[in-house]
């Protein structure tokens, strides 16, 4: 047994979980085997009266081994086969809770997913009172359901109505909340956890789970009364179908498992749970969610693209030039993570606005922080206030470039204009340290074109943040041909310091994200010009689970900025022909009629005050709606396929890897997460079926024609990911 320690003191066993070479405990096959041995021993040994299950690490168990789960995924897997995946765990948990001996979960830290399910199968749960020790069932976030009895024990313990939000949203509970809901029975300090558990065992020598007591009914009666349960099930199902647009099967499966299961005896209920789990685990959505959001994201966060053999950099002080929307946002997140910031703008008013913006953000964060503390409000409030003042004090706003002399890294975020950027770069280079990194936050201008006049092009790199900077987790790191390995390593270390996720892209017009974004809005505008109803375009995007429709997002970015970007790209001969045909004329028209987007209260949408935005009728005056409208599937496919094709072209051109492309599209562009990203989407459809559908879509334009490279991949059945990775 190398995943846990088993010790016996005065007839009470202590099972302490401690996976080797890992900072946290997760459910692995080795842990399950060791737990089986330990639990069987407790049950069989007449000298052992009961057992405490705890952990030797700072957390208890934080879930399943997602990488292992992903490796088990098979294309030809049938739901009924996948259903039996957790049989062993379930038999073990059942044997434990029906053994007649007391098992107590002494949760010294967070218990998530299978960790909480193991605790729910114990007869009593004591949780560390430290607010950092959270409990929850987050499986829904990876497209699965808790398959270790979680969908059955939790509602039987606390009632269906209270259990559903925990199962459907996957949000963790702090100790006070967990106690109030009855998910745990008692809170304790770490040093009293084991003594309290022992005390409970001494006083409860033969416990039975409530659901194993004859005549048990689910608390609040919801599950016991079929008629009430049916009504509530239907209402919840309607709500969830609207929310998921039927693209995410997990919440619906969880709901069904809970309602069907709680009408049945416990052992049959576990079969129901397993059946729904099998459906989810054999569905590509869970594989896509796990692969991109956990495995690929985990690797990017660990800086898998960082050049090897270069010492780690710790950035202490940065310069930000341009105190506009992006500069202020970057200064805010950098200062909030403890870095000193020199903020320079040639417009005094912009600097004042940036400082007010940052202060406002910090005040909101502070208010939120102490409102969610569940202990000692006033000291939390004082601490939060002090943190805010210290963060603001780390930002030094000035117009003096000399202040950059001790910065480790300087980011320019001035206007998207090559000449302005070149001038600013020349100024920065006069003052910075010889080894400082010089980054540009440009959205579209190739980094090499900005570095032409630089004396040190090896130190120049792109760091493309997204708006709003504090909320968007992605940074697109763009390396130009002359960017040195040390510069790339330093830039990646900096992104990690900000707790953001980097994707690495080779220099080219629009890099990756702006290029894909342009293909999305361009397709929206092409459809508008064809006479497709704006509502159909936007609704197709929402039904596909894009974060926002192509017309709405153009309003957010603003039509004047889009015009500058598109005109510049076309003038530089860097844009594809389709932008000239569709996006450019529509964006020009919107500028001419003064509809610049949300910021002016009018774009493709109207923005009446105190009311939700609505599509503007004036748009159909300029783009009359055709009498024949296409099927919504065609509209949805055009939006998905055009971006997937453009992403494949980026991979073909060696601009980005499939995993970074998927991550970049999901974290930076709001591409539907159920797909796993544009390349995972192609793999899910099957590359052959994908190119066939693209060829059908060429009836809307040659832009849908797959490249010979992609056709060749399809012919040879070469997917972008092999063996689930
Ligand atoms: P902005 O217009 O809000 O701010 C630009 C700031 O630069 C202004 O405060 C201006 O006074 C200042 N400035 C201009 N010339 C200067 C100079 N010579 N010296 C010092 N300061 C100068 O623009 P923004 O939206 O923050 O965009 C900045 C950059 O970030 C652009 O390159 C843009 O493409 C890029 N970007 C923007 C977004 C976005 O969503 N807005 C997203 C990613 C990247």
Please write the tens of the pLDDT for every residue from 690-708: 999 999 999 999 999 999 9
Cα(73) to ligand 1 centroid in Å equals: 45
Mutate to test the pocket of ligand 1, among 320, 323, 325, 427 (most ligand atoms within 8 A of CB): 325
* Other beta carbons less than 10 A from residue 70's beta carbon: 18
Residue 40 has pLDDT above 70, yes or no: yes
For ligand 1, atom 19, the nearest C-alpha belongs to 346
**What is the reported pLDDT for 378?**
72
Arithmetic mean of pLDDT, 80-107: 95
- Which has the closest alpha carbon to 433: 402, 406, 451, 411? 406
Name the residue at shortest CA distance from atom 15 of ligand 1. 414
* 31 within 8 A of 3, measured Cβ to Cβ: yes
Burial label, 626 (beta-carbon count in 10 A; 0-12, 13-18, 19+): exposed
pTM of the model: 0.92
Helices first, then strands: H and E counts in the chain: 32, 18
pLDDT in tens, 473-508: 999 999 999 999 999 999 999 999 999 999 999 999
Angle, to 10 degrees, between the axis of helix 632-652 and the axis of helix 687-697? 120
Backbone Cα Rg of the chain:
28
The gap from C-alpha 68 to its chain's centroid, in whole angstroms, comes to 20
Write the residue with the smallest CA distance to atom 3 of ligand 1: 324
Centroid of chain to Cα 307: 25
- Report how far ligand 1's centroid is from the alpha carbon of 412 (Å): 8
pLDDT cut 70: percent of the chain above it? 97
Q: Report the C-alpha gap between 135 and 645 in whole angstroms.
A: 41
| DSSP code per residue over 477-520 | EEE-TT--HHHHHHHHHHHHHTT-EEEEEE--TTTTHHHHHHHH
Quick one: pLDDT at residue 426?
A: 93
Atom of ligand 1 nearest to the CA of 414: 7
- How many whole angstroms from 277 Cα to the centroid of ligand 1? 48
Q: Are 354 and 343 in contact (CB under 8 A)?
A: yes
Shortest-distance Cα residue to atom 1 of ligand 1? 324
Residue closest to 690 by CA, chosen among 657, 643, 631, 650: 643
Compute CA 362 distance to the chain's CA centroid, rounded to the nearest angstrom. 23
Residue 580 clears pLDDT 90, i.e. is over it: no
Tally the C-alpha atoms within 13 A of residue 230's C-alpha that lie toward its C-beta: 3
How many residues would you count in the chain?
725
C-alpha 421 – ligand 1 centre gap (Å): 10
Distance 325 CA to ligand 1 centre (A): 7
Give the pair of three-digit tokens for residue 233: 């099930």
**Tokens at 658, concatenated:** 């499939």
* Per-domain boundaries in the chain: 4-282, 317-369+378-508, 513-654+657-716
Tell me the CA end-to-end span of the chain in Å, nearest whole number.
30
Ligand 1 mean position to 345 CA, how many Å? 10
3-state SS of 320-365? EECCCHHHHHHHHHHHHCCCEEEEECCCHHHHHHHHHHHHHHHHHH
Ligand 1 atom closest to 353 (CA): 9
Whether the per-residue pLDDT at 271 is higher than 70: the answer is yes
Q: If you average pLDDT over residues 380-405, what whole number do you get?
A: 90
Distance 347 CA to ligand 1 centre (A): 12
Rounded Cα distance, 497 and 316, in Å: 10
Class of domain 4-282: alpha beta
Which pLDDT score is estimated for 317? 98
- Farthest CA pair distance, the chain: 87
Q: Which atom of ligand 1 is nearest to the CA of 416?
A: 32
From the CA of 413, how far away is ligand 1's center (Å)?
Answer: 5
Nearest one of 167, 102, 96 to 136, comparing CA atoms: 167
Query: Ligand 1 center to residue 324 CA distance, Å?
Result: 5
Q: How far is the CA of 406 from the centre of ligand 1 (A)?
A: 23
Question: Taking CB atoms and a 6 Å cutoff, what residues make up the pocket around ligand 1?
Answer: 321-327, 344-347, 350, 413-416, 420, 423-424, 441-443, 464-467
- For residue 16, what pLDDT is reported? 98
Asked whether the CA dihedral 258, 263, 266, 267 is positive or negative, the reply is negative
Class of the domain covering 513-654+657-716: mainly alpha
Q: Give me the residues paired with residue 185 across strands.
A: none
* Distance separating alpha carbons of residues 117 and 1, to the nearest angstrom: 22
Q: What is the rounded CA–CA span in Å between residue 314 and residue 466?
A: 23
Q: Which long-range contacts (CB under 8 A, 24 or more apart) does 592-596 make?
A: 593/618, 593/622, 595/559, 596/558, 596/559, 596/560
| Ligand 1 atom closest to Cα of residue 557 | 40
Q: Under a CB-based contact definition with an 8 Å cutoff, are residues 677 and 656 in contact? A: no
CA distances to 55, 103, 257, 442, 482 from 201, rounded to whole Å, are: 18, 8, 32, 63, 67
Spacing, Cα 434 to ligand 1 middle (Å): 25
Task: Answer whether the bond into residue 468 is a cis peptide, omega within 30°.
Answer: yes
Query: Cis before residue 206, ω within 30 degrees of 0?
Result: no
Distance between CA atoms of residues 683 and 721, nearest Å: 7
For range 117-125, the mean pLDDT: 98
User: Tokens 């998905």 identify what position?
Assistant: 640
Q: What is the 415 CA–ligand 1 centroid distance (Å)?
A: 4
Atom in ligand 1 nearest the alpha carbon of residue 421 = 18
For residue 297, the CA-to-ligand 1 centroid distance in Å is 28
Tokens of 60: 């208890």
Collapsed DSSP state (helix, strand, coil) of residue 411:
strand
State how far the Cα of 374 lies from the Cα of 377, in Å rounded to an integer.
Answer: 7
User: Where do we find the tokens 């342009």?
Assistant: 518
Which atom of ligand 1 is found nearest the CA of 326? 26
Q: Distance (Å, rounded) from C-alpha 523 to C-alpha 694?
A: 14
| Cβ count near 22 (within 10 Å) | 12
**Which atom of ligand 1 has the smallest separation from the CA of 465?**
43
Mutate to test the pocket of ligand 1, among 328, 332, 348, 413 (most ligand atoms within 8 A of CB): 413
Nearest CA to ligand 1 atom 28: 413
| Ligand 1 center from residue 442 Cα (angstroms) | 8
pLDDT of residue 223: 46
Alpha helices in 506-558 (DSSP H): 513-529, 534-543, 550-557
What integer pLDDT is reported at residue 370 of this predicted model? 67
Task: Report the nearest atom of ligand 1 relative to the CA of 322.
Answer: 7
Q: Whose C-alpha lies nearest to ligand 1, atom 31?
A: 416
**Residue 554 pLDDT > 90:** yes
Check residue 602 and give its pLDDT.
96
Alpha carbon distance 436, 536 (integer Å): 50
**Residue located nearest, by CA, to atom 40 of ligand 1:** 467
Helix (H) or strand (E) holding 245: none
Paired sense of beta strands 103-107 and 124-128, if any:
parallel
CB atoms within 10 A of CB 59: 22
Closest ligand 1 atom to Cα of 329: 26
Q: Which atom of ligand 1 is nearest to the CA of 420?
A: 18
CA dihedral 481, 486, 492, 494 (to 10 degrees): -130
Determine the distance separating the centroid of ligand 1 and the alpha carbon of 328, expressed in angstroms. Answer: 10
* Inter-residue contact 493 to 465 (CB < 8 Å): no
Q: Which two tokens stand for residue 106?
A: 């002494």
User: Phi and psi (nearest 5°) for 78?
Assistant: -95, 150
DSSP 77-101: --HHHHTTTTHHHHHHHHHHHTSSS
DSSP annotation of 124 reads: E
Closest atom of ligand 1 relative to the 440 alpha carbon: 32
| Atom in ligand 1 nearest the alpha carbon of residue 424 | 18
Which is it for strands 605-606 and 614-615: parallel, antiparallel or unpaired? Answer: antiparallel
Residue from 345, 415, 511 whose mutation best tests the ligand 1 pocket (most atoms within 8 A of CB): 415
How far is Cα 719 from Cα 288, in angstroms, rounded to an integer? 14
Q: Is a pLDDT exceeding 90 seen at residue 416?
A: no
* Mean confidence (pLDDT) of the chain: 94
Ligand 1 centroid distance, CA of 496 (Å): 23
pLDDT score recorded for residue 53: 98
* One CATH from 3.40.50.720, 3.30.420.40, 3.40.50.1000, 3.30.70.100 for 317-369+378-508: 3.40.50.720
Residue 374 has pLDDT above 70, yes or no: no
Model confidence at 270: pLDDT above 80: yes
Please check whether residue 197 is in contact with residue 104, taking contact to mean a CB–CB distance below 8 angstroms. yes
Taking each helix axis from N to C terminus, what angle separates 266-281 and 87-97, rounded to the nearest 10 degrees?
160
| Closest atom of ligand 1 relative to the 344 alpha carbon | 20
What is the distance between the alpha carbons of residues 133 and 106, in angstroms, rounded to a whole number?
A: 12
Output DSSP code: residue 219: G
* Residue pLDDT, tens place only, 613-663: 999 999 999 999 999 999 999 999 999 999 999 999 999 999 999 999 999
- Residue 327 C-alpha to ligand 1 middle, in angstroms? 7
- What are the tokens at 258? 């809970």
């Amino acid at each position: 047994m190398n995943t846990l320690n088993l010790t016996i003191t005065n007839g009470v066993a202590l099972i302490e979980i401690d996976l080797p070479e890992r900072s946290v405990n997760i459910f692995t096959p080795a842990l399950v085997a060791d737990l089986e041995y330990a639990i069987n021993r407790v049950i069989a040994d007449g000298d052992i009266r009961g057992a405490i299950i705890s952990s030797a690490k700072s957390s208890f168990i934080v879930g399943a081994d997602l990488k292992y789960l992903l490796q088990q995924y098979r294309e030809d897997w049938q739901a009924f086969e996948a259903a039996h995946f957790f049989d062993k765990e379930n038999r073990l948990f059942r044997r434990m809770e029906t053994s007649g001996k007391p098992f107590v979960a002494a949760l010294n830290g967070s218990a998530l997913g299978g960790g909480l399910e193991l605790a729910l199968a114990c007869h009593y749960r004591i949780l560390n009172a430290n607010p950092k020790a959270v409990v929850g069932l987050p499986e829904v976030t990876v497209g699965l359901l808790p398959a270790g009895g979680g969908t059955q024990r939790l509602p039987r313990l606390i009632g269906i109505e209270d259990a559903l939000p925990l199962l459907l949203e996957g949000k963790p509970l702090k100790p006070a909340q967990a106690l109030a809901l009855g998910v745990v029975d008692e809170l304790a300090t770490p040093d009293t956890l084991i003594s309290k558990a022992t005390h409970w065992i001494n006083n409860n020598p033969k416990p039975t789970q409530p659901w194993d007591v004859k005549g048990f009914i689910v608390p609040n009666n919801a599950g016991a009364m079929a008629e009430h349960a049916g009504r509530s099930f239907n209402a919840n199902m309607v709500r969830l179908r609207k929310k998921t647009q039927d693209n995410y099967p997990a919440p619906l499966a969880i709901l069904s498992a809970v309602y069907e299961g709680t009408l049945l005896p416990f052992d049959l209920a576990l079969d129901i749970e397993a059946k729904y789990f099998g459906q989810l685990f054999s569905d590509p959505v869970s594989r896509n969610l796990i692969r991109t959001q956990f495995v690929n994201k985990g690797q990017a966060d660990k800086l898998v693209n960082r050049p090897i053999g270069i010492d780690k950099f710790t950035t202490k002080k940065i310069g930000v030039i341009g105190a506009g929307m992006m500069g202020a946002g970057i200064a805010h997140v950098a200062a909030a993570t403890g870095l000193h910031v020199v903020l320079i703008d040639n417009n005094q008013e912009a600097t004042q606005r940036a400082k007010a913006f940052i202060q406002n953000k910090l005040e909101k964060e502070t208010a939120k922080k102490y409102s969610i503390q569940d202990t000692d409000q006033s000291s939390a409030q004082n601490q939060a206030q002090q943190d805010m003042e210290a963060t603001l004090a780390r930002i030094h706003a000035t117009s003096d470039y000399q202040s950059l002399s001790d910065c480790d890294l300087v980011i320019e975020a001035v206007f998207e204009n090559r000449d302005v950027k070149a001038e600013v770069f020349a100024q920065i280079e006069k003052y910075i340290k010889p080894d400082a990194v010089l980054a540009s936050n440009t959205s579209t201008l190739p980094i090499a074109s900005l570095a032409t006049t630089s004396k040190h092009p090896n130190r120049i790199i792109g760091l493309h943040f997204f708006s709003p900077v504090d909320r968007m987790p992605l940074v697109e790191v763009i390396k130009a041909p002359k960017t040195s390995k040390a510069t790339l390593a330093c830039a990646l270390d900096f992104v990690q310091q900000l707790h953001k996720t980097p994707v690495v892209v080779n220099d080219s017009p629009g890099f990756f994200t702006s290029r894909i974004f342009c293909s999305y809005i361009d397709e929206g505008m092409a459809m508008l010009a064809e006479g497709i109803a704006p509502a159909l375009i936007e609704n197709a995007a929402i039904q596909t689970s894009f974060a926002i429709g192509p017309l709405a997002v153009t309003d957010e970015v603003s039509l004047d900025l889009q015009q500058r970007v598109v005109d510049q790209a076309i003038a530089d001969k860097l844009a594809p022909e389709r932008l000239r045909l569709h996006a450019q004329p529509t964006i020009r028209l919107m500028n001419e009629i003064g509809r610049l987007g949300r910021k002016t209260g009018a774009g493709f949408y109207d923005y009446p005050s105190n009311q939700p935005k609505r599509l503007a009728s004036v748009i159909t005056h300029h783009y009359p709606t055709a009498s024949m409208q296409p099927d919504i599937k065609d509209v949805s496919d055009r939006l998905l396929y055009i971006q997937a094709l453009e992403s494949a072209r980026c991979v073909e051109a060696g601009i980005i890897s499939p995993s970074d492309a998927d991550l970049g599209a999901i974290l930076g562009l709001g591409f539907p997460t159920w797909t796993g990203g544009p390349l995972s989407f192609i793999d899910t459809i099957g590359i052959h079926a994908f190119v066939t559908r693209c060829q059908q879509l060429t009836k809307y334009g040659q832009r849908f024609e797959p490249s010979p490279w992609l056709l060749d991949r399809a012919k040879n059945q070469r997917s972008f990911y092999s063996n689930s990775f």
